[in-house]
Amino acid sequence: MNTVLIIEDNPTMVRALEDNFTMKGYKVKTALDGEAGLNAALQKEANLIILDIMLPKVNGFEICSQVRNKGINTPIIMLTAKDQEQDIVMGLNLGADDYVTKPFGVKQLLARAEALLRRTAQPEPDLYQFGGFKLDVANQKLTHNGAEVPLSPKEYSVLHLLVKRRGSVLTREEILRSAIGNAHFVSVKNIDGFVKTIREKIEPDLSKPVFIHTIKDLGYKFEPV
């Protein structure tokens, strides 16, 4: 049984989420302020955290930051205000895995939660397939219908991250941090260049990408076809 930790200061919303997650078979823990939520998150007892941004005592950004700084990789879905793109970007940069904007349907949140748990519960495969492509993780090689597609090491790292986190929006900052690391000669601006060259090698029509989608003001999302 998966345990979900809901950190939200609206009691009515907490009750609704608790009821719906319970009916879906989850064990539910709740916290009505950021301080209690942070303490609960650091116990590492949850399989998933639903985290509001605007919280009393400790806000959601600080909770997310502290959880990730402690090396805790529990999936986090952030609840953000509608159209507050800067909040979404900041949350993703701090290590949130997904976001849902308020107001939202509970069914949508449940679907996001279940999809995220499926992705994170499975060990990484040795091979990813999309279209006619195969991404060989063990050998760090991409092939198309059996023929190798040349990738530079950084192009491979970026593509691997996008494919591994398929369905999730990744900001340029997160791609830089997770795929490239601390290379002093690579900046956030270079990420667009890496994506451009990768698209040239995998997209059938550059004017209408089917694999790597640009998410306006946020970053990129990979969708297998």
- Write the pLDDT tens digit of every residue in 126-148: 999 999 999 999 899 999 999 99
Asked whether 33 and 58 are in contact (CB, 8 A), the reply is: yes
Last residue of a domain, one of 88, 121, 154: 121
Q: For position 88, which CATH number holds?
A: 3.40.50.2300
Whole-number Å distance between alpha carbons of 79 and 65: 15
Whole-number Å distance between alpha carbons of 124 and 218: 25
Mean pLDDT of 53-60: 94
Cis geometry, peptide bond prior to residue 224 (ω within 30 degrees of 0): no
Q: For position 155, which CATH number holds?
A: 1.10.10.10
Last residue of a domain, one of 121, 154, 169: 121
Q: What is the pLDDT of residue 86?
A: 84
Is it the case that residue 18 has pLDDT exceeding 80? yes
| Whether residues 40 and 103 fall in one domain | yes
CA 153 to chain centre: 23
Start-end of H helices in 42-152: 60-69, 85-93, 106-121
pLDDT band at 11 (very low <50, low <70, confident <90, very high): very high
| Whether residues 36 and 135 fall in one domain | no
pTM exceeding the 0.85 threshold for the entire prediction: no
Q: What is the pLDDT of residues 66-122, one digit of tens each?
A: 999 888 889 999 998 766 778 888 888 888 988 888 888 898 899 989 888 887 777
Is it the case that residue 181 has pLDDT exceeding 80? no
